[in-house]
Structure 1
Amino acid sequence: MELDSAPGDPVEDVVFEVRRVSHSGTPIDMRTIAGQQLAAQVLGSWDGVSLSAPFSVPSTGVEETTDEDGLAVFDNLELGLYLVEEVSAPAGVTPAGPFLVTLPLSQPGPHPETTSWTGDWWLYNVHVYPKNAVTPAPVKTVEDSEIHHRGQVTTWTITTTLQGAPHDLNGDSTITGDEVHSFTGFAVRDDLDSRLVYLADSLKLKVDGVDLVPADYTVTWDPAPDEEGVVPAGAVMLIQFTEQGLAKLNAAGDGGELAVSFDTVANASGVIPNTAQVYTNGYDTELGPDEQDVPPTVTPTVEQKFGGITLVKTASDTNAAQPGAKFQVWVDVNGNGKLDEGTDTAVDQDGTAGPDVWTTGNDGKVVIDGLRYSNWADGKAVTETDPEYNKYLLVEVDAPEGYSLLAAAVPFVVTTPASGEGATQVPVVNKPFNSGPELPLTGGAGLGLLIGTGAVLMGGGALLLGLHVARRRREQAAAAAALL
């Protein structure tokens, strides 16, 4: 008998196996009273785990796989008692527990297709509906909205909802307590991008917000860390739960949350993708992650983005390229397009030598790289009105000889790679000294040049004054001589 509306959504690619139950080596025959009595005996003592002697099943049976409608059809079975077990399921689907079913199946009357029979009747076309729990897919997130450039710390987090399955963990042939929704193995794998470097001792695991301890899991890296414990960029991290850790997962029960977080820094620019793989029920610690019978569930890809601009420096009077101009990049914290050294911060990607300085080459260009995309933060697009949107400032700290420093910072944003196809070019034009005054930036970035320029002007003023006085004196002496 088939229900008009089956409970739940269909699950495809689930493999079921049926094996006929025997008594003392003889298959139970539901066509006989004796067979029906034996079946009732088995069903009455069934613990949901295994059969006890003298009842048994063969080592192998018949397998079928569910289609897109969630149906697995077993045709031409002998009339008897069958053990139905789920052999495998897609990633993210928790297997249903084993169960027994008789063929035919006794049904209470009246018969649905005739009014002449009101007693119990036999159903030969049996439909069963084992319930698989579909575990919500794990999620990978990145937290980088507070950073502005490479070298700053980014936190990645893998979050998964726990969904166990029935297991006789203590071997007593019963399933009770935490065993009802339990795990016999659990692992998390993260293949870091080659541009990501793991920060030592940053790994944290929590179950329902409670920290796990190192004895709850093991961590291996491929390639292995060096003698100083530094993990190579792009290494593969594998976390495997110990018996102690599995007990904590089992205690959390279905719906519990496991969170795995760690920190990295980026050592190169570009769009940096990252995913994680979560292995739940059926994970075997004796096998490698690529050798598991049960495939992992893969998180959606999350991305971090670093890029920059190509600065193009030219002279206003000749339009020629200007080599040797030096620039710093500042984060425009206030977003007002002006340099405020009280709140804005200079970009220092290595964190050791002070603000980074970029110098234009012979072609007047310099590639400024390693900045977080302005319009991308925490793994998603952001707009200019969002607080996570990064704005930057170009500050000239040394102009080519004969040319004035820029009077103000040049605001810009980063939405592309720093160079190559599609790169953003930012033009910067300098005026020569004799083209009129161009007030330099005040504050640390331009103060030194302002003081130096002031000294030259004062010195020049003194020189002009001396020449003027000397000329006046010569003119007066010549006039006096003419009177003699």
Structure 2
Amino acid sequence: MRVKSTTIGRRLACALGASALIVTGAGFAAPTALGEEPTAESSQTAELGNIDFTKKGSLTIKKHLHQDGTSAVGDPATGVYEGKPAEGIDGVEFTIYKIKDIDLSKNEDWEKVNSYKIPADPEADSNLVKVKTVTTEGGGVATLKDLDLAAYVVVETNAPADIIDRAAPFVVTLPYPDTKANDDRLGKRSEDWLYDVNVFPKNGKTELSKTVKGQASYGLNIGSEVHFPVTATVPKIAGDRVFKYFQVVDPMDTRFDKKSLKVASVKLSGVDLTSDDYTVAIQDWMVTVSLTQQGLGKLKNAAGQELEVVFVGQLDNLGEGDNFGRILNMAYVYSDTVSNPGESTPPETPGTTPPTTPPSTPPTTTTPPGGTPLVKQFWGDLKIQKVDQGTQKPLKDAEFKIYPAKDPYPAGECSPEYDENATAVKKNGVEGEDLVVKSDENGNVHFEGLFVSDDQNDPKSKEFRCYVLVETKAPSGFVTPTDGNQLFPVKVTIGQTAQGKYDSKVENVKRDTPELPLTGGKGVIMLMVLGGLLLVVAVGAGVVFIRRAEA
């Protein structure tokens, strides 16, 4: 409902005047004829049309959206909308102030209602007495009861961050004259005084979403960039209002390198905005994009279109404990409008500081007002043990690269296949030097962070991702495997491999060497065998000789 302060005083004065005439007429009614019995009607006291100042009043605030930029009409007497109401908004705070120098029992003070100018800061105005602050709930409703009959200023003092086009402060009287003249959009009226009044301030709402781009396009190793697109659907606002400010804020995870934080692009309906349309501010890990006067002007004419901001950070570490490898992110939008009749130009210096500070750690169970649904990205580490095949002792200085598997998310076990056109995982991003990891003095081969999955891109939130480990150099004295024997399928799971545990074991064999001339070895054995044969031959020959001699 609109309370028309420009006409209410005059109409209320007329209503009071009409009531006075009715009372005067009743006092001077024609007497009954002599001898006639007075009728029941003439003996009753007529119900007065005056305000009953012995009563209390109530004010019910019904807060709904008006996404089409118009205001639906609500009935101040019944609280019912014409047609189907838009979505009710919970969590909107209103503060009610009584105007001290307006006494509605004095007819001349009704004219003050008509000429009253709402101060820019009601809280600091000595003529206003703060009565109460209420918050809408249960579908956008807040009710104040047992109010004195007086003139009140109602101010929307807080709202969820995604609520824009806040209601302008307005004046309402208790009681309120329920007359057709006060709003010709309403149907037949009671023409009486309303002591329980319904008001219908409206808001618009910014729809907000967030995702994360496929990580393979930006690198699979820790040290790669992560790209978070945030999309806000521009709401339609009332014609006599302009955007006061419009900000998109992303409190990036502290595991990103702070120096790497940036905004890759800002687009309206797929078209890049210019640097004159917005500013970027980075404080700690909080990145804020604020539209300038020029940018806000473009929003005014872009209702229903999408504003996309892409936030970027380079992952520096994966954390520790249960939080290891779990990157959670949420963005926020802050906006408001201001009345600017006859003008379409936003403020020259729009605000650049969010009205509230988003949490640095996003909530995991609920989506706060003005926030996007939570976006999750998952990483893990990989620990390999390098050992001598024969002795199982650890080997130092073996070198490995790692490749994305041809099928990163198989239904069964990981395969040692990778695409023939694939390149090894890089140290940073998708270009430059390959990532090479050496085994240490304990035979440990540790890949500190490899991408697993996210909850936005298919397949969503997978618990593992397959890679192919390739041994490129064996330790001195050991064979570097070839012919496919150097390829080892490995499974990287979300989180950190436990201390003292390994995801896989890779063995090496010693190199072959020329045989040594060993006098105490094979040569002795051969001589013994030959000597034995000669002895047998000699014995046999002697036996034959003796037998022949005897013969």
TM bin, normalised by shorter chain, reads 0.5 to 0.7
Aligned to 1:216: 277
**Aligned letter for 2:273?**
L
For 1:128, the aligned partner's letter is V
Counterpart for residue 237 of structure 1: 287
Per-residue deviation at 1:214? 0.8
The worse-fitting range, judged by mean Cα deviation, of 2-11 and 80-89 is 2-11
Say if 2:433 is the partner of 1:364.
Answer: no
Per-residue Cα deviation, 1:424-460 (whole angstroms, up to 9, x for no partner): 52122334557xxxxxxxxxxxxxxxxxxxxx8xx99
Residue of structure 2 equivalent to 1:324: 397
Q: What letter corresponds to residue 449 of structure 2 in structure 1?
A: G
SS in 2 for 1:73: strand
Equivalent residues of 2:262, 2:287 under 8 A apart: no
**Quick check: 1:96–1:131 contact (8 Å CA) kept in 2?**
yes
| Preserved contact between residue 208 and residue 333 of structure 2 (Cα < 8 Å) | no
Residue aligning to 1:183: 243
Residues 416 and 423, structure 1, Cα contact 8 Å, conserved in 2: no
Unaligned runs of 5+ in 1: 110-117, 167-176, 224-234, 435-455, 461-470, 476-484
Q: Quick one: structure 1 residues 259 and 49, their matched pair in 2 at CA, closer, same or farther if it must change by over 3 Å? A: farther
Partner of 2:221: 149
Tell me the CA shift for residue 394 of structure 1.
1.1
Distance 1:141 1:50, change over 3 A: farther
Q: Which moved more, 1:196-205 or 1:90-99?
A: 196-205
Q: Among 421, 424, 427, which residue is 1:343 paired with?
A: 421
**Where does residue 139 of structure 1 map in the other structure?**
210
2:466–2:490 contact (8 Å) kept in structure 1: yes
Distance (whole Å) between structure 1 residues aligned to residue 393 and residue 496 of structure 2 = 22
Amino acid at match of 2:197: V
The AA in structure 2 aligned to 1:204 is: S
Structure 2: how far apart are the matches of 1:71 and 1:334? 54
Separation of aligned partners in 2, 1:50 and 1:327: 72
Structure 1 CA distance for aligned equivalents of residues 193 and 330 of structure 2: 52
Q: Which one-letter code corresponds to 2:275 in the other structure?
A: P
CA-CA distance at 1:102 after TM superposition: 4.1
Alpha carbons 2:154, 2:172 under 8 Å: kept: yes
> What is the aligned residue count?
392
Equivalent-residue separation in structure 2 for 1:76 and 1:381 (angstroms): 58
1:307 to 372, 380, 386: 380
Would the alpha carbon gap of residues 413 and 86 (structure 1) be closer, same or farther in structure 2, given more than 3 Å must change?
A: same
State the distance in 1 between where 2:405 and 2:119 align.
Answer: 68
Question: Counterpart of 2:471?
Answer: 396
Change (3 A) 1:201 1:325: closer
Displacement of 1:260:
0.8
Question: Structure 1 pair 296/203, CA: closer, same or farther in 2 (3 Å)?
Answer: farther
Residues 212 and 422 of structure 1, relative CA distance in 2, 3 Å threshold: farther
Write the mapping of 1:242-261 to structure 2, written as runs, cut at 5 A: 242-253=292-303, 255-261=304-310
Contact 2:290-2:351 at 8 Å conserved across structures: no
Instruction: Name the residue aligned to 1:90.
Output: 160
Given that 1:185 and 1:280 are in contact with CA atoms closer than 8 Å, whether structure 2 keeps it comes out as yes
The aligned residue for residue 267 of structure 1 is: 316
Deviations 1:235-285 (A, max 9, x none): 4323222211221122223x3322111433323333333333322117996
SS in 1 for 2:298: helix
Partner amino acid, structure 2, of 1:275: M
The one-letter code matched in structure 2 to 1:189 is V
Cα distance, 1:158 vs structure 2: 1.6
> For 1:50 and 1:165, how far apart are their aligned partners in 2?
24
For the pair 1:297 / 2:347, whether they are aligned, the reply is: no
Give the structure 1 partner of residue 137 of structure 2: 68
Distance 1:304 1:285, change over 3 A: same
When residues 215 and 348 of structure 1 are mapped into structure 2, their CA distance, relative to the original with a 3 A threshold, is same
Distance 2:89 2:498 in 1: 47
Q: TM-score, normalised by structure 1?
A: 0.65
Contact 1:19 1:83 in 2 (8 A): yes
Give the secondary-structure state (helix, strand or coil) at the position aligned to 1:248.
helix
CA distance in 1, matches of 2:300, 2:271: 14
Q: Hey, what does 1:481 align to over in structure 2?
A: none
Residue 83 of structure 1 deviates from its aligned partner by 4.4
SS at structure 2 position matched to 1:204: strand
**Helix, strand or coil at the partner of 1:249:** helix
- Alpha-carbon distance in structure 1 between the residues aligned to 2:418 and 2:153: 76
Deviation at 1:151, TM superposition (A): 3.8
**1:124 is the counterpart of 2:179:** no
- Determine the C-alpha separation between the residues in 1 that align with 2:451 and 2:230: 22
- 2:6 is matched with which residue? none
Deviations 1:31-54 (A, max 9, x none): 96x777x59x94xx99x9999xxx
Residue 541 of structure 2 corresponds to: none
The SS at the match of 2:295 is helix
Q: Which amino acid aligns with 2:471?
A: E
Q: What residue is the counterpart of 2:230 in the other structure?
A: 158
What per-residue deviation string (whole Å, max 9, x for no partner) do you get for residues 314-339 of structure 1?
Answer: 33333332333222212223568235
SS in 1 for 2:294: helix
Contact 1:85–1:98 (CA under 8 A) maintained in structure 2 = yes
Mapped partners of 1:378, 1:151: distance in 2 = 21
Listed as ranges, the matches of 1:450-461 within 5 Å are none
Separation (CA, whole Å) in 2 of partners of 1:71 and 1:266: 45
Tell me the SS of whatever aligns to 1:219: strand
Q: Is the 8 A contact 2:135 2:142 kept in 1?
A: yes
The TM-score, its normalising length taken from structure 2, stands at 0.58
Report the more deviating stretch, 322-331 or 8-17: 8-17
Matches within 5 A, 1:352-431: 354-373=433-452, 375-376=453-454, 378=456, 382=460, 390-401=465-476, 403-406=478-481, 407-417=485-495, 419-421=497-499, 425-431=503-509
User: 8 Å contact 1:149–1:306 — kept in the other structure?
Assistant: no
Q: Deviations over 1:370-400 (max 9, x none)?
A: 3111x4365786377x9xx843111122234
